[in-house]
Chains A and B, each alone.
Chain A
């Protein structure tokens, strides 16, 4: 069964610190993996998209990694800011039917 599991479910860190969010998936055959950021009261916004051949992709202070062999991805946030407080959702696309498999998200809270 195609699944996406994210950890931790929630995370609280101090402003200025770094953090890493994890995404494990069992989707096969794999097409691509996206990370979305969802602010409270808003819809998700795409941060990065990675295909099978890409290991790392950055978007400002956000860096996503992908290990297609172990079927794991991570989202690293550097020098966190209060505006980083949001839910971060991992989404994996299956190449066979273009189905999107959504994770439940990690709720990140940045404290001053």
Chain B
């Protein structure tokens, strides 16, 4: 339950604000992920990091900027967001040895509202 933590749990921001989402995993994993979850839609993979290196960016707008200082921490820096960016942002981690087919362990998510 506490293997992957995310802060803050809720965030309301204006379109001109700059904020950051934080994710920390305590599972000793080597891969970390950011997902966007909108209502009634499938999870959208945004970024993948393996051993601190970004290995995937799924055409995410530059107003989302990830940072992975080490294998345990992942950040998502937000600036100049749009109302359609309002969603649940989920962080996940996996062992990383077998690529993305590893079972992923998710944090509770950050509910983001852009006004």
Residue positions of A touching B, CB distance < 8 A: 4, 9, 31-32, 34, 41-46, 49, 89, 93, 98-105
A100, B100: Cβ atoms closer than 8 Å: yes
* Docked complex Cα distance between A41 and B9 (Å): 9
* Docked complex Cα distance between A100 and B106 (Å): 15
A100, B45: Cβ atoms closer than 8 Å: yes
* Docked complex Cα distance between A93 and B4 (Å): 23
A45, B42: Cβ atoms closer than 8 Å: no
B109: CB under 8 A from chain A? yes
Residue positions of B touching A, CB distance < 8 A: 4, 40-43, 45, 90-92, 98-101, 103-109
Q: Which residue of A lies closest to B39 (CB)?
A: A104
Contact A99/B100 with A41-B108, A44-B106, A104-B40 known, Cβ cut-off 8 Å: yes
A102, B43: Cβ atoms closer than 8 Å: yes
* Docked complex Cα distance between A42 and B92 (Å): 12
A43, B103: Cβ atoms closer than 8 Å: no
A43, B106: Cβ atoms closer than 8 Å: yes
Q: Which residue of A lies closest to B111 (CB)?
A: A41
* Docked complex Cα distance between A43 and B90 (Å): 7
* Docked complex Cα distance between A93 and B102 (Å): 10
A104 CB contacts on chain B under 8 angstroms: 40-42
Contact A102/B92 with A34-B103, A41-B108, A93-B101 known, Cβ cut-off 8 Å: no
